Homo-oligomer: A and B are copies of this chain.
């Protein structure tokens, strides 16, 4: 199985030649890694906020500003880079109010300040709809490098924090009129990423949510996963509560396409102890949820049972439904009737 999105990217980029200085192959890393003459590695990434505004998922200018910065910083965190800063492109509609413009800038600045980094410069245009892009650049010192690839059978699977907030926020916003207690304002896991780089074998952010991230790891590493930790123990409490209130199985919130910008990563068994020690030193509690298996299947622990699920079916479903949220929701329900997760 493959992610449909990855096939599209492979096709789109098939005419491009790759730089001999680039350390990572296509789709192999959240940020692009360039070997510098000094021995350090430069990490760079670009990301845009387009569809989230178009669908109405993001309508708060402050959140759009915040996310403009975080989407790119999160890619840097997944490769353990220290950010040098960002350049941003803002395409603002003609009728955008001065107050909204101010809120947008405040979101941008607050996200930078929280992450200890800076806007270096930018570009402003008028457009029909608000649309922003950011490119973040960072440095990785000489030494270890981490990407999405490098998992060995038996490696332990971790998440940097509880999952499902991005999905719960999207569900609540698009289907319930946006009146819940869910506070969505993710922070790039920059410090955590630097620890993962030292001890881990592979890392990816959950910008597209848990299952799409997991599929990327499976596709690149040709492994499977046994997820033995009960779902309830690693799903975000507010997502669990929303699921209970609305009678929606909580795994829907892991399905994407909107994620929570945590990190999903693997650690070789022999590094576990030193990894957890380093995590503890920054007051971080990563959650071990399972392990990589040779068998190319995914088993998940729910209601005290291990159930085989098809993560590619889940992850490709939104695209298969022509990005139509309603149709997508119905398709997820069909899967649930089959799997009883």
B-binding residues in A (CB < 8 A): 8-9, 12-13, 15-19, 21-22, 26, 31-32, 34, 36, 38, 40, 42, 44-48, 50-51, 54, 84-85, 87-91, 101-102, 105-106, 108-109, 112-113, 117-129, 131, 133-135, 137, 139, 323
Which of the residues B45, B51, B105, B323 comes within 8 Å of A87, measured between beta carbons? Answer: B45
The answer on a CB contact under 8 Å between A16 and B118 is yes
Q: Which 8 pairs, one residue from A and one from B, show the smallest C-beta to C-beta distance?
A: A135-B135, A19-B118, A46-B87, A32-B120, A32-B121, A38-B38, A50-B125, A133-B133
The interface residues of chain B lying within 8 Å CB-to-CB of A87 are 32, 44-46, 135
Chain B residues near A90: list those with CB within 8 A.
12
* C-alpha spacing A189/B217, complex, angstroms: 41
Between A8, A48, A117, the greatest number of chain B beta carbons within 10 A of the residue's beta carbon is seen for: A48
**Residues on B with beta carbons closer than 8 Å to the beta carbon of A106:** 15
Assembled-state Cα–Cα distance A50/B91 (Å): 8
Which of B18, B46, B119, B139 makes the CB contact (< 8 A) with A13? B119
> How many whole Å from A73's CB to the nearest CB in chain B?
14
A89 and B38 contact, CB distance less than 8 A: no
Chain B residues, CB < 8 A from A112: 16-17
A289 smallest CB distance to B (angstroms): 28
With A91-B131, A137-B137 given, is the CB distance from A48 to B120 under 8 Å?
Answer: no
A128 touches B54 (CB 8 A): yes
Given contacts A22-B118, A121-B45, A122-B46, contact A131 B139 (CB under 8 A): no
17 contacts between A and B (CB under 8 A): A8-B124, A12-B101, A12-B105, A36-B139, A38-B40, A42-B42, A42-B84, A44-B87, A44-B135, A44-B137, A47-B123, A48-B123, A48-B133, A50-B125, A51-B126, A128-B129, A131-B131
B54 touches A121 (CB 8 A): no
CB distance from A134 to the nearest CB of B (A): 8
Task: Name the B residues within 8 Å of A109 (CB-CB).
Answer: 15-17
* A133–B32 touching, CB < 8 Å: no
CA distance A222 to B298 in the complex (A): 67
B residues less than 8 Å from A46 (CB atoms) = 87-89, 121-123, 133-135
Least Cβ distance of A140 to chain B in Å?
Answer: 13
Q: How far is the CB of A84 from chain B (nearest CB, A)?
A: 5
**Cα separation A125 to B109 with both chains bound (whole Å):** 25
Question: Which residues of chain B have C-beta atoms less than 8 A from A45's C-beta?
Answer: 87, 121
Partner of A89, one of B26, B48, B51, B54: B48
Please, which residue of chain B has its CB at the minimum distance from the CB of A119?
B16
Across the interface, name the chain B residue whose C-beta is closest to A35: B84
* Known contacts A91-B50, A119-B16, A128-B128; A34/B101 CB under 8 A: no
Q: B124–A34 contact, CB under 8 A?
A: no
In the complex, the answer to whether B54 meets A120 with C-beta atoms within 8 Å is no
Query: Which residues of the partner chain B approach A119 to less than 8 Å between Cβ atoms?
Result: 13, 16
Please measure, in the bound complex, the distance between the C-alpha atom of A26 and the C-alpha atom of B36, giving whole angstroms: 27
Task: Give CA–CA (A190, B184) in the complex, Å.
Answer: 43
Chain B residues with CB under 8 A of A26: 121
For the complex formed, measure the closest distance between the CB of A326 and the CB atoms of chain B, giving whole angstroms.
18
